[in-house]
């Protein structure tokens, strides 16, 4: 019988806490079992194993990012929405660098991740629709936006910007560069 109060969600919570504290390499069933107060074999009542746990963690990270990015862009349009989305994305990476490191590489290919990955993608595509971008143009713009935010935030989270200049100023410059590269929105 599963331990009272222990659910697959609680197992994912414990895995995320472990990842936050010790990094993605620390994620083992033994470590998660120790955090939840059960023997490692007992986890199999809630998850099928470490590969499934990694997938569930990735799903949670994507859900969290979707919520953050969607909330940031909500009620905004075009440049304001793009800037808010970019700031929220950077904030997530800086706040949770180890979680972000377990973000699935290509969730739109994995059948178990595609729905969650699509919801996240839809937030970005909704922002880009404000510029009149649809179809292939929107996909290209999404890739560029992702590369810019991911690159800056990942380098920042890893401590890779060692010079003394203000990082917020640099990031605002990146936002301005990205926004200026998007097409002019249609005039009403």
Walk along the chain (188 residues) and give the pLDDT tens digit of each residue.
445 578 899 999 999 999 999 999 999 999 999 999 998 888 888 988 999 999 999 999 999 999 999 999 999 999 999 999 999 999 999 999 999 999 998 899 999 999 999 999 999 999 999 999 999 999 999 999 999 999 999 999 999 998 989 999 999 999 999 999 998 765 66
Residue 142, both tokens: 């999404």
Query: Where along the chain do its domains lie?
Result: 1-47, 57-181
Distance CA 6, CA 83 (A): 40
Q: Which fold has domain 1-47?
A: Arc Repressor Mutant, subunit A (1.10.10)
The predicted structure's pLDDT at residue 2: 47
Distance CA 85, CA 90 (A): 9
Distance CA 141, CA 156 (A): 23
Nearest C-alpha neighbor of 184 from the set 95, 31, 79: 79
Model confidence, pTM: 0.91
CATH architecture for residues 57-181: Orthogonal Bundle (1.10)
The predicted structure's pLDDT at residue 39: 86
% helix / strand / coil in the chain, to the nearest 5? 70, 0, 30
The predicted structure's pLDDT at residue 109: 92
Residues with Cβ within 8 Å of residue 41, at least 6 apart in sequence: none
Distance CA 114, CA 4 (A): 32
The predicted structure's pLDDT at residue 40: 87
Neighbours of 184 (CB within 10 A): 9
The predicted structure's pLDDT at residue 1: 42
Chain segment 135-172, per-residue pLDDT in tens: 999 999 999 999 999 999 999 999 999 898 999 999 99
The predicted structure's pLDDT at residue 184: 77
The predicted structure's pLDDT at residue 42: 86
């Amino acid at each position: 019988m599963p331990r009272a109060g222990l659910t697959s969600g609680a197992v994912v919570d414990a895995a995320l806490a472990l990842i936050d504290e010790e990094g993605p390499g620390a994620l083992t069933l033994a470590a998660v079992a120790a955090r939840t107060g059960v023997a490692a074999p007992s986890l199999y009542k809630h998850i099928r194993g470490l590969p499934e746990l990694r997938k569930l963690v990735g799903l949670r990270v994507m859900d969290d990012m979707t919520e953050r990015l969607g909330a940031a862009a909500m009620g905004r349009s075009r440049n304001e929405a793009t800037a808010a989305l970019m700031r929220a994305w950077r904030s997530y990476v800086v706040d949770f660098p180890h979680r972000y490191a377990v973000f699935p590489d290509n969730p739109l290919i994995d059948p178990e991740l595609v729905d969650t990955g699509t919801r996240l993608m839809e937030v970005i595509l909704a922002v880009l629709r404000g510029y009149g971008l649809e179809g292939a143009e929107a996909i290209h713009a999404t890739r560029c936006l992702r590369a810019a935010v991911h690159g800056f935030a990942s380098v920042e989270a890893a401590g890779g910007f060692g010079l003394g200049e203000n990082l917020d100023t640099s990031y605002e410059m990146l936002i301005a560069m990205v926004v200026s590269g998007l097409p002019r929105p249609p005039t009403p």
